Amino acid sequence: MESSALLFNQLKAADPFFLLAGPNVIESEEHVLYMAKHIKSVAAKVGLPLVFKSSFDKANRTSSKSFRGPGMAEGLKILEKVKATYDIPIVTDVHETIQCEAVGRVADIIQIPAFLCRQTDLLVAAAKTGKIINIKKGQFCASSVMANSAEKIRLAGNPHVMVCERGTMFGYNDLIVDPRNLEWMREANCPVVADVTHALQQPAGRKLEGGGVASGGLRELIPCIARTAVAVGVDGLFMEVHSDPLNSPVDGPTQWPLRHLEELLEELVAIARASKGKQQLKIDLTPYHL
């Protein structure tokens, strides 16, 4: 818990924001190590605290034929090697209560997927690891739900929680990002993160040759959503990044190209420093006379 408190306080104090970034899923040890090395270099260059992200199992897939990753045992070994090799904290997600203890021995931040953001048993099991918990807001949830989810973590004895906006369902195959949520989610009394890549998914919106569907996405709008988020004054950005997005086996359409990461982050840091988004603007409604 002491190490979690230290990292949590460092992230909360990040100026202008912290970064959770990495490829969507572990494709191989070689690829994850490559990505960690280069993302760490970029983050250091632009002056952002980094937590490296990748998943060992993508349980919520559109199709049973979709690539899911190496599984928990092998995946955690790889993430542990990333952590040791590059001395960076790790965030990865869990889907079941039985995964939390093992994941907590490696990850510094345990992420709760959006579809599971209200699952009390999972939230409590994750909280009891003592690690920082990042709860993604369900695509079907109002921002007010996140205050309750965060409170479940605290009531389980863990004060280190943050909440993450990742878009809201807009019809059957689309998501929208309502910037008001980035403000309203502060009612959870914890750091607010914006997932600027998953927020641009088009769930089951891409037809495949030979039948079936997969998730599509609007990668070209990632800068638009990211600019909005940092201007509003979020505490952290979540961004999935890939060296070869067109050949990524999972969520390729919403992963940002590694070659453009530095360029985008430099701009976002500049916007965040120019904005007063983290400062509450006091509105004076007394009569105004010139």
Active site residues: 24, 58, 251
Structure tokens at 40: 């760490």
Q: Measured between alpha carbons, how far is 202 from 189 in angstroms, rounded to an integer?
A: 30
Phi and psi based region of residue 286 (left: phi greater than 0; alpha: psi -120 to 50; beta: remaining): beta
Q: Measured between alpha carbons, how far is 50 from 64 in angstroms, rounded to an integer?
A: 33
Q: Measured between alpha carbons, how far is 1 from 166 in angstroms, rounded to an integer?
A: 27
Q: Measured between alpha carbons, how far is 43 from 200 in angstroms, rounded to an integer?
A: 23
Contact 51, 22 (CB under 8 A): no
Nearest to 175 by CA among 209, 136, 146, 148: 136
Q: For residue 32, give every residue at least 6 positions away whose Cβ sits within 8 Å of its Cβ, in sequence order, or none.
A: 22, 23, 26, 54, 78, 79, 82
Q: Measured between alpha carbons, how far is 91 from 122 in angstroms, rounded to an integer?
A: 16
**Number of helices and strands (H, E) in the chain?**
9, 13
Structure tokens at 262: 């530095």
Local structure of 124: helix, strand or coil: helix
